[in-house]
A and B are shown apart, each in its own frame.
Chain A
Amino acid sequence: MDFTTGKELLELCRAEGITIAEAMQRREESVFETNRREIRAQMEENLSVMEESIRLGMDTKRSQSGLSGGDAQRLLRYSREGSASGRGFCTAVAASMAVVEWNAAMGRIVAAPTAGASGILPGTLLTLGQERNLPREALVDALFTAGAVGMLIATHATVAGADGGCQAETGTAASMAAAALVEALGGTPRMALDAGAMALKNVMGLVCDPVGGLVECPCVKRNAMGAANALLCADLALAGIQSVIPFDDAVSSMAAVGRALPSELRETARGGLAATPAAQACMACAGYKGS
């Protein structure tokens, strides 16, 4: 049992009357000759590290290089007094930022799909879980939903910033998270993939331009935006809004756009924000160079 496209996945879900989370677990058992108990235990451990990374990340003072830290807590504190986008929204965004700040401070995280985009999925899903009192099993299920979407993107495009830019990292993470949120809230497989497609469409062409080559600026804020993107697309899909471009097409166009990006804009720190005078000055005072 296997599926390699979004279309095949939706057909399988329809024929068997199952969720994407269930389909992904059956695929894992069949393709990798493992069993349900083993993969759920493994995913449960990922979930525990995700929770830990939000909790400890919220107290991050400064990163290894000194470029980032403390902004997740700043947003969380501010949002208690009222905010432009709402408290629940700010809490999820702050949690996403906390994970990436923690990552930059050499904390332990779960790559999802990469370390640089590791905040979006745990930040949005675990905050939703807390607000809606979702059982742990439902969160584990949702991680399999997210994994299915990420697997399809990795298969037909890429999840590496060096290959496809930031759209491939935070775009993929937002796509995974959007689909996970939809299934966690009882949406259909079709709605979940529509949410995933919309999240990719929203950041089509986003470049990877890390200051000094470090996973900090603009990565922390791109994770904040990725979380916002995921929450928004989950709501759009759950409201019954469909994606004009189907998921598989969104993925293949992301791959094509990634290939069209010049190497300066693919994680080499030679273009975009990394090439600005402010970035150069900033790295000079951080004194990050080893040699």
Chain B
Amino acid sequence: MQRYSVFDIIGPRMVGPSSSHTAGAARLAYTVHRLAGYDVRRVAFTLYGSFAETGRGHGTDKALIGGILGFAPDDMRIRDAYELAQEAGLSVELIFSQEPMPHPNTVRIEAVNGRGESIEVLGESIGGGSIRITAINGLSVELTGEYPTLIIQHHDYPGVIARVTEILAERYINIAFMRVFRHAKNADAFMIIETDHQVEEQVKESILASCQEISKVFAV
């Protein structure tokens, strides 16, 4: 039996009108904002299913743009997202797709940051403002953002996981959940580590510097 907190019932605080179509959309894009590391200069959103059908009426477009600008789901600036994107020099493209997806509220977010680095994320809004990221840069993953999360992009090679967990252990950062994903043996891979404690910038840097197989470290 699932145990609900009083704040699952009274909450979240959010900009309306819909926890799935607005708050969840904002949270998905906000996660991409965090993943991008630097300010996003260019973004394309492809909306699928119910997001594509009723997105405008639910302000899904504004929520997505607001999230990319770094607004949390309860930030009233979401309402003026188009104007604020223009002021910030963020170029936005919205695509409404007919293609069927496993989950009705799905969005693909392709973003390019100020350093010219691109990231592509596929995400689902699974209800009540909760989200699930199902792919990053074409690689299948699964993360919900409910815990502080480290996402480590690396080459699939023996010993990389041990290096990372050792660094976390030294800092007394407890791992709540951990999963590893890869394209193929000895190819691109991801580690998703959900922790009980916040991971500081310094720790991210030590992980990145710890071995050459690690190419990127994101914290959400």
Residues 9-36 of A, flagged 1 when their CB comes within 8 A of B and 0 if not, give 0000000000000001000100110000
Binding stretch for chain B, among A87-95, A154-162, A199-207, A254-262: A154-162
* B13 contacts A108, C-beta separation under 8 Å: yes
Contacting residues of chain A (252-291) with chain B, CB-CB under 8 angstroms: 286, 288-291
Q: Taking CB as reference atom, which chain B residue is nearest A146?
A: B10
Q: Given A28-B6, A42-B7, A106-B17, are A111 and B12 neighbors across the interface (CB < 8 Å)?
A: yes
Interface flags, B53-94, vs A, CB<8A=1, else 0: 111111111100000000000101011000000000000001
Question: Which segment, of A70-78, A131-139, A209-217, A225-233, faces chain B?
Answer: A209-217
Q: Which residues of B contact A155 (CB under 8 A)?
A: 1-4
Find chain B residues with CB under 8 A from A159 CB.
9
CB proximity of B207 to chain A, nearest CB, Å? 28
Cα distance, A42 to B206, chains bound together (Å): 35
Q: Could you tell me the distance between the alpha carbons of A24 and B58 in the complex, rounded to whole angstroms?
A: 34
How many A-B pairs with Cβ below 8 Å? Answer: 153
A46 partner, pick from B13, B16, B60, beta carbons under 8 A: B13
- A interface bracket (residues with beta carbon within 8 Å of B): 35 or more
| Complex: A116 Cα to B94 Cα, angstroms | 26
Question: Please, what's the 1-or-0 string for B125-142, where 1 marks a CB less than 8 Å from any CB in chain A?
Answer: 001110000000000000
- B64 to nearest A CB, angstroms? 12
* A185: Cβ under 8 A from any B Cβ: no
Query: Cβ of B19 and Cβ of A115 under 8 Å apart?
Result: yes
Determine whether the beta carbon of B128 is less than 8 Å from that of A111: yes
Contacts of A105 in B (CB 8 A): 16-17
Whether B16 and A49, one on each chain, are in contact in the complex, defined by CB atoms closer than 8 angstroms, is no
Interface residues in A125-173 (C-beta closer than 8 Å to B): 143-144, 146-148, 150-151, 154-155, 159-160, 162
A198-B19 Cα distance, complex, nearest whole Å = 27
Residue among B4, B10, B52 with the highest chain A CB neighbour number at 10 A: B10
Q: Does the CB pair B5–A32 fall under 8 Å? A: yes
Give the nearest-CB partner of A216 in chain B.
B17
Are A106 and B78 closer than 8 Å at their CB atoms?
yes
B60 cross-chain contacts in A, Cβ below 8 A: 290
CA distance in complex: A30, B53 (Å): 43
A114 located at the interface, meaning its Cβ lies under 8 Å from any Cβ of chain B in the complex: yes
A113 at the B interface (CB under 8 A):
yes
Identity of the chain A residue whose Cβ is nearest the Cβ of B127 in the assembled complex: A160
In the docked arrangement, what's the CA distance between A50 and B187, Å? 51
Determine whether B174 belongs to the interface, using a CB cutoff of 8 Å to chain A: no
Asked whether any CB of chain A lies closer than 8 Å to the CB of B11, the reply is: yes
Complex A-B: 8 CB contacts under 8 Å: A64-B56, A103-B16, A106-B59, A111-B128, A112-B11, A215-B16, A290-B53, A291-B96
Q: For the complex of A and B, list the 8 residue pairs with the smallest distance between their C-beta atoms, beginning with the closest.
A: A103-B16, A150-B9, A147-B6, A288-B57, A291-B96, A290-B56, A65-B57, A215-B17
